[in-house]
């Protein structure tokens, strides 16, 4: 028999072999969370699973290493979704001790899958310094907020000049011809700001006057109106959006005048361009989502003590109040604010009534929302 | 050689070949079985689902369209180059051939960076009015006329694929042309069938160089079909099957979580396997046909009879060289240019700042010198394994052919080619899932990415070594035996000393391909401390670029990767046996 044909048939017939995978049975069973033994050797190093969180500056990590005497090693994923994927994939033998970067749209999935273990930080006096807004989505012992911001729509003021194109007063305005092919959205399937904005649209359309349509009808109409969907925030903001710094970068397309970012992104733009920006946020009620990012000890960590120390370090006054400059996000500490330098605070907008969907509902319905979103935008 | 030792020797050869075959099949098979288990679909169901899912269907359409257009453009650019280079007497022809071949060994991520620089706002294409980036001017008109979205980026992608693959056309077609007896053409001109250009094309050129063109086109199709880094960076709004599989790979194989991605990966893997096996089978058949028509007269006499190249010929070759080198020059140039924006006004500054930053590294990215060290370590370990395995496979094929076991020789040959037909992403995923299943402690072991590197470079070693081993004259071995030399010295004098050239070529190519390997490493490198140069370039490019140093830092890393590959390739060309114009 022809070898190629033989190989193909062999592969196609291997379906019955899937029964050999006994782990599928174990993984499918509902389980009560227990503290797992270390998934890797404890060699004194602290292994941190994260994405490119800018707050983890060289000086911040060096300071920790010299004060704790521990070496820090990073296992980097491309984004918050990647952090959760990695933890799910290595569930039976976790390779890191500490997770940094899951937000409130992903956190409940991690908790429900027993991927995190309790931290003692909630008993520390430092925990009292965390603002109530940061603790609103979750205030248990499995994850500690370390930064926050509100995801909302940003638009280019050069396009929305008030004469030729007027300021949208409803999300439905974006389905009109003047916005045809001029909006870019990071996909909720692969981007955390994309996911946050999709959650906001659920609440927005549940609370509007029209009971005949829901968020996915809007997404479907946006798709028909030529909206661009990208895999991550960077592609939407940097490659497509005309209002941001992307216009000065390589690979820029500049075909969209509205995208998803943070309400304070115009402030960041000004901060990096000597108090100059032509981007601003679209402040429609319920069209934004308060995003909180968390740090948590991984269930299966080897260096738990080191992980506890790092949480304390990340939430210390000296480090966390510098979040706006270092991480371009708000600090989670009480009484902290954005810097005045170069118009950062001036251009940063405060969201008008962010969407309020509890994380338990997010976890329960997310799979269905993502499926609906996919069908609506295909 | 004694009978016992010969048996052990043969056994060792088969152990190596079987291990190689298992190393290809097991990760793939395990990945398929695991994905079947996670999705609850059989492979046949998955193939049916592939044609029902708009996302995978779109990826298939885009992959087929970009691959076909890439092949056509490669032929349009490559054939005139091969024609001019093959028919006339050129000074420094080895250098011209080498320069035209450089793109093929360049890491795909370097090519992507080069083309991003080419289509950039201040890039050379924008300066001559071709705006592939924001698609204004006539590129925009093409978009609105055809209704095809992102035309500019699509054009950039197929030009980049053509850049990557022109050497396939040149290296395969040029030797056939340069060894064709010029008197055939003269005789045909006297006949009615050959007095028109079309008649000569139909009656002499197509039958003569057609198989070489078809063979090169089929390989070009395979490489464009499995393209990942170029698609990721040049057409961010479109996915090929390979890039969609890579994007979905992060969540594939996990029970009760994002099962849709497991379905996509399984379906694409199987359909891609069928298409690639068909294309490779076609290539293999054409290669056999092509080799029958080779070497009709000596190259120098054919060239002498046609004389010096014409002005048109010189312009063609010069344009080809500029096309080849421009993206590479732009990468280096871009690494020194840092943009600053003040009140919306952009200015460029020539500075070494990006080099200094990337050399030192930070917590976000590994230092350049460390990434360089990692890349070299992987490349050297890959070299040892690939050369050994490749040599053993090539020797075995030759031995089987000599002993009349042609069918078995073909099977071993197919095994050696198999990694080219299997997605690097799928191999990476299979290894990753397998390790997690059976030996999680190996998860962050630095040696893990070596396995796909070895699998993906060995086919090239076999391709280079096999013709050389076939052409070995056995009489040297007989003579060495008669001199009473030890078996080791017989091996050195009758085999190794004749194979040093091809071995150096295979070695350089192995290192070059290992340095540039992206797909499998992208899936497998989980610990930041073992990032390679190509991963570093990708990581830098993926970062938000409000920091104006990020882009030139990525370009600086790509420059080092390019320079390293360039030096290795020149070394390989220097030791390549003279007169060997074709092949890699």
SS (H, E, C) B164-208: HHHHHHHHHHHHHHHCCCHHHHHHHHHCHHHCCHHHHHHHHHHHH
CB contact under 8 A, B55 and A41: no
CA distance B15 to chain A (A): 20
Using CA coordinates, name the residue in chain A closest to B116.
A251
Q: A365 CB near a chain B CB, below 8 Å? A: no
Highest mean pLDDT among A287-291, A321-325, B113-117: A287-291
pLDDT of residue B295: 45
B39 to chain A, minimum CA–CA distance in Å?
11
Give mean pLDDT, residues A89-106: 91
To probe the interface with B, which of A251, A256, A257, A313 has the most B CB atoms within 10 Å? A251
First to last CA, chain B: 33
Rounded to the nearest angstrom, the minimum Cα separation between B563 and chain A is 22
Residue B232 reports pLDDT greater than 80? yes
Q: B153: which chain A residues are within 8 Å (Cβ-Cβ)?
A: 253
Q: How confident is the model at residue B571 (pLDDT cuts 50, 70, 90)?
A: confident
Alpha carbon distances (Å) from A296 to A103, A180, A278, B144: 11, 42, 37, 51
As to burial, measured by CB atoms within 10 angstroms (0-12 exposed, 13-18 middle, 19+ buried), residue A185 is buried
Of the pLDDT bands very low, low, confident and very high (cuts 50, 70, 90), residue A321 is very high
Mean pLDDT of B307-331: 91
Query: Could you say which residues from 171 to 230 on chain B have a Cβ atom under 8 Å away from some Cβ of chain A?
Result: none
Question: B150 or B376: whose pLDDT is higher?
Answer: B376
pLDDT band at A182 (very low <50, low <70, confident <90, very high): very high
pLDDT at B196: 81
Among A342-346, B304-308, B354-358, B510-514, whose mean pLDDT is lowest? B304-308
* Token pair listed for A225: 């109106």
User: Quick check: A9 contacting B, CB < 8 Å?
Assistant: no
Q: How many CB pairs under 8 A join A and B?
A: 176
- CATH 3.90.1530.10 applies to domain A38-148+291-331: no
Residue-level pLDDT at B482: 80
pLDDT for the residue numbered A20: 46
Instruction: For residues B149-153, give the mean pLDDT.
Output: 80
Mean pLDDT, residues A250-254 taken together: 79
Nearest by CB: A78 against B270, B436, B542: B542
Asked if A180 has any chain B CB less than 8 Å from its own CB, the reply is no
Number of Cβ within a 10 Å radius of residue A342: 19
Mean pLDDT of A282-300: 95
How far, in Å, are B17, B220, B480 from residue B4 at the CA level?
Answer: 20, 46, 21
pLDDT at A29: 45
Domain with CATH 3.40.190.10 in chain A: 38-148+291-331, 150-290+342-377
The pLDDT of B474-490, averaged and rounded, is 79
Average pLDDT over residues A284-291: 95
Residue A126 contacts B, CB cutoff 8 Å? no
Six token digits for residue B110: 């370097």
Lowest mean pLDDT among A164-173, A245-254, B144-153, B398-407: B144-153
Count CB-CB contacts under 10 A for residue B583: 15
Query: Does any CB of chain B come closer than 8 Å to the CB of residue A95?
Result: yes
pLDDT at B304 over 70: no
How far apart CA A291 and CA A135 sit, in angstroms, is 11
- In the predicted structure, residue A78 carries a pLDDT above the cut 70: yes
Whether residue A113 lies within 8 A of chain B, CB to CB, comes out as: yes
**Is it the case that residue A6 has pLDDT exceeding 80?**
no
Report yes or no: A93 at the B interface, CB cutoff 8 Å.
yes
The chain-wide mean pLDDT, for chain B, equals 83
- The CATH architecture that domain B1-35+354-577 belongs to is Orthogonal Bundle (1.10)
Cβ contacts (< 8 Å) between A230 and chain B: which residues? 236-237
Burial grade of B177 (CB within 10 A; 0-12, 13-18, 19 or more): buried
Determine the pLDDT at residue B2.
62
Q: Which residues of B touch A252 (CB under 8 A)?
A: 121, 133-134
State the pLDDT confidence band at B439, using cuts at 50, 70 and 90: confident
Per-residue pLDDT at B582 exceeds 80: no
- Indicate the domain borders of chain B: 1-35+354-577
How close does chain A come to B32, measured CA to CA in Å?
A: 8
The Cα B251–Cα A113 span in angstroms is: 15
Say whether B551 and A245 touch across the interface (CB within 8 A). no
Q: Which of B90, B63, B353 is closest to B231 using CA atoms?
A: B63
pLDDT of residue A195: 94
CA nearest A316: which of A63, A115, A142, A96? Answer: A63
Residue A19: per-residue pLDDT: 43
Instruction: Find the CB nearest A252 among B121, B277, B444.
Output: B121
Residues of chain B positioned with their CB less than 8 A from the CB of A74: 363, 528
Does residue A14 sit at the B interface (CB-CB below 8 Å)? yes
Lowest mean pLDDT among A264-268, B198-202, B343-347: B343-347
pTM of the model: 0.81
Q: How far is A318 from chain B (nearest CA, A)?
A: 19
Q: Which of A26-40, A78-92, A152-166, B227-241 has the lowest mean pLDDT?
A: A26-40
Alpha carbons B195 and B566: distance in angstroms, whole number: 45
Question: In this complex, do A250 and B44 lie within 8 Å of one another by their Cβ atoms?
Answer: no
Closest chain B CA to residue A2: B411
Interface of B with A in 270-329 (CB under 8 A): 270, 273-274, 277, 281
pLDDT at B294 over 70: no
More confident site: A2 or B545: B545
- Residue A90: is its pLDDT beyond 70? yes
* Strand, helix or coil for residue A315: coil
Separation of CA A144 from chain center = 15
The predicted pLDDT at position B584 comes to: 47
Q: How confident is the model at residue A310 (pLDDT cuts 50, 70, 90)?
A: very high
pLDDT at B4 over 90: no
Nearest CA in chain B to A26: B255
Res. B242: pLDDT tops 90:
no
pLDDT of residue B290: 56
**DSSP H helices in B471-496:** 474-482, 487-491
Following CA atoms B277, B280, B286, B289 in sequence, which dihedral angle do they give, to the nearest 10 degrees?
-90
What is the average per-residue pLDDT within B119-136? Answer: 78
- Return the higher-pLDDT residue of A247 and B62: B62
CATH number among 3.40.190.80, 3.20.20.80, 3.40.50.300, 3.40.190.10, domain A150-290+342-377: 3.40.190.10
User: Helix/strand/coil (H, E, C) string of A94-137?
Assistant: CCCCEEEEEECCCHHHHHHCCCEECCHHHHCHHHHHECHHHHCC
Which of B255, B448, B540, B558 is most worth mutating to test chain A (most A CB atoms within 10 A of its CB)? Answer: B255
Is A280's Cβ below 8 Å from some Cβ in B? no
Contacts of B410 in chain A (CB under 8 A): 3
Plot region of A226 (φ>0 → left; ψ -120 to 50 → alpha; else → beta): left
From the candidates B45, B124, B135, B236, which should be mutated to test the interface with A, based on the most A CB atoms within 10 A? Answer: B236
Per-residue pLDDT, B287: 65
At residue B95 the predicted structure's pLDDT band, cuts being 50, 70 and 90, is confident
User: Running DSSP on this structure, what letter comes out for residue A241?
Assistant: B
């Amino acid at each position: 028999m022809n070898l190629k044909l033989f190989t193909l048939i062999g592969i196609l017939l291997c379906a019955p072999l899937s029964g050999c995978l006994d782990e599928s049975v174990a993984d499918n069973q509902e389980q009560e969370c227990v503290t797992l033994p270390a998934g890797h050797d404890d060699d004194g190093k602290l292994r941190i699973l994260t994405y490119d969180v800018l707050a983890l500056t060289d000086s911040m990590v060096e300071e920790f290493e010299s004060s704790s005497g521990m070496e820090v090693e990073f296992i980097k994923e491309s984004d918050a979704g990647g952090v959760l994927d990695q933890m799910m994939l290595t569930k039976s033998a976790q390779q890191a001790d500490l997770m940094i970067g899951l937000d409130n749209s992903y956190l409940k999935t991690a908790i429900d899958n027993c991927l995190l273990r309790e931290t003692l930080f909630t008993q520390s006096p430092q925990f009292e310094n965390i603002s109530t807004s940061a603790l609103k989505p979750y205030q248990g012992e499995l994850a500690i907020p370390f930064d926050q911001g509100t995801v909302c729509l940003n638009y280019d003021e050069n396009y929305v000049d008030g004469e030729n194109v007027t300021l949208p007063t409803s999300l439905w305005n974006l389905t009109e011809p003047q916005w045809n092919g001029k909006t870019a959205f990071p996909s909720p399937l692969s981007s955390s700001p994309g996911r946050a904005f999709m959650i906001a649209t659920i609440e927005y359309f549940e609370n509007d006057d029209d009971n005949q349509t829901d968020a996915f009808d809007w997404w479907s109409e946006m798709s028909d109106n030529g909206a661009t969907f990208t895999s991550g925030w960077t592609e939407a903001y940097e490659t497509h959006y005309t209002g941001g710094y992307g216009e000065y970068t390589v690979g820029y397309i500049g075909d969209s005048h509205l995208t998803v970012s943070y309400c304070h992104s115009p402030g960041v733009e000004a901060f990096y361009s000597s108090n100059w920006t032509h981007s601003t946020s679209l402040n429609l009620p319920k069209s934004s989502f308060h995003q909180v990012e968390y740090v948590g000890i991984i269930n299966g960590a080897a260096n738990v003590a080191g992980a506890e120390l790092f949480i304390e370090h990340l939430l210390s006054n000296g480090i966390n109040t510098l979040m706006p400059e270092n991480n371009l996000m708000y600090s989670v500490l009480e009484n902290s604010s954005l810097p005045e330098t170069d118009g950062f605070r001036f251009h940063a907008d405060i969201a008008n009534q962010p969407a309020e969907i509890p994380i338990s509902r997010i976890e329960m319905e997310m799979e269905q929302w993502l499926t609906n979103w996919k069908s609506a935008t295909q | 050689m004694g009978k016992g030792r010969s048996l052990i020797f043969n056994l060792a050869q088969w152990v190596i070949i079987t291990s190689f075959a298992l190393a290809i099949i097991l990760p793939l098979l395990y990945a398929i079985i695991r994905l079947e288990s996670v999705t609850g679909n059989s492979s046949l169901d998955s193939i049916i689902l592939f044609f029902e899912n708009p996302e995978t269907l779109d990826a298939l359409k885009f992959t087929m369209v970009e691959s076909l257009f890439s092949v056509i453009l490669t032929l349009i650019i490559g054939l005139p180059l091969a024609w001019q280079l093959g028919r006339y007497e050129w000074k420094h022809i080895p250098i011209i051939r080498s320069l035209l071949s450089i793109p093929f060994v360049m890491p795909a991520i370097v090519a992507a960076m080069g083309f991003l620089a080419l289509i950039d706002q201040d890039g050379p294409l924008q300066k001559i009015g071709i705006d592939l980036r924001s698609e204004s001017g006539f590129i925009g008109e093409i978009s609105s006329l055809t209704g095809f979205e992102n035309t500019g980026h699509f054009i950039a992608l197929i030009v980049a694929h053509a850049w990557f693959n022109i050497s396939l056309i040149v290296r395969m077609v040029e030797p056939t042309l340069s060894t064709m007896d010029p008197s055939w053409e003269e005789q045909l001109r006297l006949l009615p069938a050959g007095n028109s250009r079309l008649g000569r094309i139909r009656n002499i050129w197509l039958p003569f160089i057609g198989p070489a063109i078809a063979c090169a086109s089929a390989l070009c199709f395979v490489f464009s079909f499995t393209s990942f880094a170029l698609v990721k960076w040049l057409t961010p709004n479109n996915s090929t099957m390979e890039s969609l599989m890579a994007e979905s790979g992060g969540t594939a194989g996990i029970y009760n979580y994002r099962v849709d991605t497991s379905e996509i990966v399984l379906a694409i893997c199987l359909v891609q396997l069928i298409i690639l096996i068909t294309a490779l089978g076609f290539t293999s058949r054409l290669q056999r046909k092509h080799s029958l028509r080779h070497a009709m007269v000596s190259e120098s006499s054919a060239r002498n009879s046609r004389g010096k190249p014409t002005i048109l010929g010189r312009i063609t070759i010069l344009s080809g060289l500029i096309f080849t080198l421009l993206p590479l020059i732009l990468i280096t140039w871009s690494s020194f240019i840092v943009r600053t924006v003040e009140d919306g006004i952009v200015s460029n500054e020539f500075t070494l700042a990006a080099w200094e930053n990337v050399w030192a590294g930070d917590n976000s990215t590994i230092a350049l010198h460390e990434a360089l060290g990692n890349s070299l370590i992987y490349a050297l370990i890959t070299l040892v394994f690939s050369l050994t395995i490749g040599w053993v496979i090539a020797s075995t094929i030759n031995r089987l052919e000599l002993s009349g076991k042609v069918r078995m020789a073909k099977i071993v040959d197919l095994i050696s080619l198999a990694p080219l037909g299997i997605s690097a992403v799928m191999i990476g995923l299979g290894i990753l899932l397998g390790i997690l299943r059976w030996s999680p402690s190996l998860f962050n072991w630095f040696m893990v990415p070596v396995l796909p590197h070895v699998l993906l470079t060995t086919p090239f070693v076999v391709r280079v070594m096999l013709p050389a081993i076939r052409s070995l004259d056995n009489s040297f071995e007989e003579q060495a035996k008669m001199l009473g030399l030890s078996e080791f010295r017989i091996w050195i004098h009758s085999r190794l000393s004749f194979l040093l050239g091809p071995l150096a070529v295979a070695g350089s190519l192995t290192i070059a391909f290992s340095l540039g390997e992206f797909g499998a490493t992208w899936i497998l490198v989980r610990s930041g401390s073992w990032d390679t140069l190509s991963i570093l370039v990708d990581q830098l490019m993926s970062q938000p670029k409000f920091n104006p140093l990020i882009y030139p830092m990525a370009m600086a890393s790509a420059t080092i990767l390019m320079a390293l590959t360039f030096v290795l390739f020149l070394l390989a060309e220097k030791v390549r046996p003279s007169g060997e114009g074709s092949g890699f």
